Amino acid sequence: MALPARHHSRSRVGKRRSHFALKANNLIACPHCKRPIPAHRVCPHCGYYKGQEVIDVYKGLSKKEKKQKQKEIAQEAK
């Protein structure tokens, strides 16, 4: 294993670590359902992108889940 030739001061370590902070994702409100979504992505809640429905968000859901999701979306549209 590599062995550091010189002592690393706490100050030097701190300066390196000052760049490690994570940035929050850039969330915008979906223009269709108003929920927060990442910019430039298809909305995972309503399936809309650029004013068009591009994915079927009800696919793979049971009849009960589908009904519940429709209710949620209708409520948020108000």
Does 46 bind Zn ion (CB under 5 A)? Our answer is: yes
Three-class SS of residue 71? Answer: helix
Does 42 bind Zn ion (CB under 5 A)? Our answer is: no
**Shortest Cβ 27–Zn ion spacing (Å):** 12
Q: How many helices (H) and strands (E) does the chain have?
A: 2, 4
CA dist list (Å): 26 to 18, 22, 23, 42, 76? 21, 12, 9, 14, 22
Question: Which of residues 13 and 27 has its CB atom nearest to Zn ion in the complex?
Answer: 27
Q: Which of 33, 49, 73, 76 binds Zn ion (CB under 5 A)?
A: 33
**Shortest Cβ 12–Zn ion spacing (Å):** 47
**Shortest Cβ 75–Zn ion spacing (Å):** 13
In this structure, the number of other CB atoms found within 10 A of the CB of residue 20 comes to 6
Does 73 bind Zn ion (CB under 5 A)? Our answer is: no
